[in-house]
């Protein structure tokens, strides 16, 4: 029996689905080891252990802070773990115990965010790069969500890819009853859901939509996701250029999201950089034909179940979407292939692979018996 700490401070962020699913299935799979789950104080009431060998621990130390480097290190040491899993790269770089680190991608290092202070964000990128490099070298094992990220991290950090394991993520079916958006019932629309940060490439998606409107005057483009300064910038640009038909839906409930997936003519994923591409896989799960960027990991994840385009060309993007709009047989083929592709991925398998990595790392410690 080993004592394992899981850093779950990112549980309630936009990327926290990975952490939540990992914890959910680890509790089903592992009744042997003892787990301490680090949560932000405000998240303590929202997550409850389902097994007696899991306990939650309040962790007040903010990511990318001096408190993280000093206070979190002291807190982890006080728990006396045999292994710590940092589910994101941010961690006390001088912590000396056995560590497994998940690196989701290197996108933050390569794209600016105009919603943030430019100088502060540049500093964060520099710190983030150093943290990733240090974590890559000192971790006993690294976990990534795709082969693309495995190769990317190995090149960036100058380490052997042998210490990096790929554990693919997955998409769940939405269980909530579909809830129609009244303004879109009976209308033809394409959609995107997610963050509007620059690497998501929404400006080119809107430009491609303008091209599509010439052939499909009644077509709508639905952009769903929590509104922030980046979304406001895209919305202002569309208004200033008198682009009609773009629906800024803001945050949508699970039921409405399911309805959008099930009724869209195409889910368009224009991203310039992804580590896994979960939104497109989720769209596939619910029967949406997916038209995707061919950048980074996306062809690896979607295989032959998507129609691809060059994300740097709004003309190529519009052409690919138009092919799906006008070809009913292609649309049906993509929807069927997408459902099958999405079912090849499993959160439970991801958790089982992660547990196997824990066992392998723990077995290397002579003070512990092999699993």
Lookup result for tokens 């380490």: 159
* 265-313: pLDDT as tens digits: 999 999 999 999 999 999 999 999 999 999 999 999 999 999 999 999 9
Q: Is the pLDDT of residue 175 over 60?
A: yes
Tokens in use for 118?
């430019």
- pLDDT at residue number 158: 97
Among 256, 259, 334, smallest CA distance to 291 is for 334
Q: pTM (2 decimals)?
A: 0.94
Q: Is the pLDDT of residue 370 over 80?
A: no
| Domain locations in the chain as residue ranges | 3-170+346-363, 182-342
* 53-75: pLDDT as tens digits: 999 999 999 988 888 999 999 99
The yes-or-no answer to whether 3-170+346-363 and 182-342 have a common fold is: yes
Percent of the chain with pLDDT over 70: 98
**pLDDT band, very low/low/confident/very high, at 365 (cuts 50, 70, 90):** low
d(CA 196, CA 234): 8
Q: Is the pLDDT of residue 343 over 60?
A: yes
- pLDDT at residue number 142: 98
DSSP string, 130-180: HHHHHHHHH-SEEEESSHHHHHHHHHHHT--GGGEEE-----PPP-SPP--
CATH topology of domain 182-342: Rossmann fold (3.40.50)
CATH topology of domain 3-170+346-363: Rossmann fold (3.40.50)
Lowest mean pLDDT among 4-13, 119-128, 144-153, 157-166: 119-128
Percent of the chain with pLDDT over 90: 87
- Tell me the mean pLDDT in the region 17-30: 98
CB atoms within 10 A of CB 185: 9
- pLDDT at residue number 368: 43
- pLDDT at residue number 366: 46
């Amino acid at each position: 029996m080993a004592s394992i700490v899981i850093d779950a401070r990112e549980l309630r962020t936009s990327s926290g689905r990975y952490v939540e699913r990992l914890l959910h299935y680890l509790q089903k799979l592992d009744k042997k080891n003892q787990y301490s789950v680090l949560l932000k104080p405000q998240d303590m009431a929202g997550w409850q252990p389902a097994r007696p060998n899991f306990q939650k621990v309040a962790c007040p130390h903010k990511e990318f802070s001096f408190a993280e480097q000093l206070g979190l290190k002291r807190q982890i040491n006080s728990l006396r773990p045999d292994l710590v899993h940092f589910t994101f790269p941010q961690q006390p770089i001088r912590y000396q115990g056995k560590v497994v680190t998940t690196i989701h991608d290197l996108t933050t290092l390569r794209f600016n965010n105009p919603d943030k202070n430019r100088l502060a964000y540049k500093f964060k990128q520099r710190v983030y790069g150093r943290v990733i490099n240090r974590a890559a070298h000192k971790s006993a094992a690294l976990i990534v969500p795709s082969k693309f990220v495995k190769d990317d991290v190995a090149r960036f950090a100058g380490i052997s890819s042998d210490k990096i394991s790929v554990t693919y993520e997955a998409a769940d079916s939405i269980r909530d009853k579909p809830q129609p958006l009244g303004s879109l019932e009976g209308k033809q629309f394409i959609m995107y859901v997610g963050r509007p940060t620059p690497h998501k490439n929404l400006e080119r998606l809107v430009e491609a939509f303008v091209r599509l409107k010439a052939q499909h005057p009644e077509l709508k483009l639905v952009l769903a996701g929590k509104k922030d300064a980046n979304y406001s910038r895209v919305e202002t640009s569309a208004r200033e250029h008198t682009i009609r038909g773009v629906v800024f839906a803001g945050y949508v409930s699970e039921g409405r999201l399911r309805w959008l997936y099930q009724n869209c003519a195409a889910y368009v994923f224009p991203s310039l950089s992804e580590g896994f591409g979960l939104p497109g896989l989720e769209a596939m799960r619910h029967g949406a034909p997916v038209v995707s960027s061919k950048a980074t990991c996306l062809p690896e994840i979607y295989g032959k179940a998507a129609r691809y385009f060059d994300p740097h060309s709004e003309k190529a993007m519009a052409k690919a979407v138009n092919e799906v709009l006008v070809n009913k047989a292609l649309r049906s083929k993509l929807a069927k292939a997408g459902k099958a592709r999405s079912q090849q991925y499993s959160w439970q398998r991801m958790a089982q692979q992660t547990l196997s990595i824990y066992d392998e790392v723990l077995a290397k410690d002579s003070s512990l018996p092999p699993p």
